[in-house]
Chains A and B, each alone.
Chain A
């Protein structure tokens, strides 16, 4: 599948989802007691977005945007698209560490979950030695604690698991 076709398909999916969003917005009411309803504004925006995405999908499919430049602020070279050069395993490890963090944040608390996620990134994605990884993780956790908890008074969540040790 060519890049343009994938983009066109994604834009078409976006158009459909926006049309659905517009439809859902209608359910919030367009007009109520002589005042604009909660659904008026999102419905207008969603249907406009669906129309734009639909038009853009067709334009992309027909190749009008093949010479479109990369997004502003993007790398000088356009983001890689083909699987060549992309290290999927590394990306997968990043994704796993993000998921681990989200899943364990409440249960294990900030320090254990963030520490684990950081260690996963350092050890498996960035292939840093275990001693360096442990040192960097400890330093990051300490810096986070010092800046946010001590200096700025942000209270990190205590692990839910800790309640089992409470009398």
Chain B
């Protein structure tokens, strides 16, 4: 405990220089802008920043890059709440209740809950990293491919609980998402699959493009079809007092923030899309714990506060595997690892002893970065909400333009723009068929990990799927997944049987 506190003190003394605070500020603001803009995500931005980091000292470079990362998580929720376009994959869940709150004139409250939830989670996660990080990372190290397969399966089945579709429809969307993730080169054999001879598909489908199409463009079409309807996104009162969450919303959102922080912290440590999984898991947890689960999907404050806290907490705890084990937990961490390696530092268990200023400096920068973000975010809430006053006639082409530029900017590829439009119309069609695209996007994000880990497991098990139940963690996670599925599929049947028995 004392060691962690003295480490944090060392970190603070390292970061509290004009240059480092300036870099932290630039990173956080840049990240927030990136998060607001659909398309160009933190990974792309950080790769663009890599050449700049060569000219900075290592601590400064990492502070700048980590600022971009958690700044993007803050920013990603803004567009999710206001226009239902997730700036980041982890903000997909926020679209559900955040946008519903915005439509009820509570956009400011949703943004406030999101910003404050992210801030609290960020601070708690920072202390969590300092206190229990190394020992928790040790546990995560015991996870191999079978455990990841089971974990992702459980995560995907959890998403059937979020959606208000029937479980069967959720499963259909999950399967489509998993299949879309297989488009491109096979990860083991390198042969192409479902590319239809289109070279642009060899690299697979771009996740931001898919999400922008299914959520952003589809939403434009859905709103556009109501010709004379007033803009549903207009907030009635823009006074600062009315913009912030009221007492009832705090009562609901407060505990959700606390739970989301804990869920996010532990899921963020696991390699893969920790922040995405954390946000979904938190949403499911809140819905299950709520006495009024039917409000979820229609503007429940806990549906915004919990997932936002979870994704920010997971974002920060995802630094644990990189800094403590030298294992990047996602693509952003991989870029950060690249920056470390280029500068001659190998991340891993010895980092804490060989470069304590670097290790604790990055952790302390999270504290400063979160403070910078909350100070920037809260006064800007009224500005963001005022954007809703823009008539839809102007908002639609704006969203359209930014989606197009965002889609193009990811890979400088015209095909992505074409795919964006296709995904937009598909999303519109899915909505008409009462199919929710959120489980599809989650499955798409996790599909790659699921396939790789499943195939690696089969190789480890010499072709036998028994490996999934031979390992205790994997078996336990599979049991959870099976239980989730059974309750979802047979729960309604049981209810019908009970009802019939009661009637007879």
Contact = CB atoms under 8 A, between A and B. Distances in A.
Contact of B459 (A36, A71, A90, A141): A36
From B34, B166, B224, B401, name the one whose CB has the most chain A CB atoms within 10 angstroms: B401
A7 B220 CA distance: 22
A55 B168 contact: yes
B191 A41 contact: no
Contact of B408 (A21, A65, A141, A156): A156
Given A52-B171, A72-B436, A157 B414 contact: yes
Interface stretch (B312-320, B346-354, B367-375, B424-432): B424-432
B421 A36 contact: no
B252 interface: no
Interface residues of A, number: 82
Contact of A87 (B179, B227, B438): B227
Interface stretch (B114-122, B197-205, B450-458): B450-458
B296 A41 contact: no
Contacts of B178: 45
Interface in A68-121: 68-76, 78-81, 85-87, 90-91, 94-95, 97-99, 101-102, 105-106, 110, 114, 117-118, 121
Interface string A3-18: 0001100110010001
Contacts of A131: none
A164 to B, nearest CB: 19
Contact of B163 (A49, A56, A72, A99): A72
Q: How large is the interface on B (under 10, 10 to 19, 20 to 34, 35 or more residues)?
A: 35 or more
Interface string B28-61: 0000011001001000010010000000000000
B175 A45 contact: yes
Contact of A38 (B34, B188, B392, B433): B188
Nearest to A21: B179
Given A38-B186, A90-B225, A154-B409, A53 B172 contact: yes
21 contacts: A7-B434, A21-B179, A21-B194, A34-B463, A42-B194, A45-B179, A48-B171, A49-B171, A49-B175, A52-B172, A65-B169, A70-B164, A72-B297, A73-B99, A73-B436, A87-B225, A91-B225, A118-B397, A126-B394, A144-B405, A152-B45
Task: Give the top 6 A-B pairs by smallest Cβ distance, nearest first.
Answer: A49-B175, A71-B436, A126-B393, A73-B96, A38-B186, A72-B297
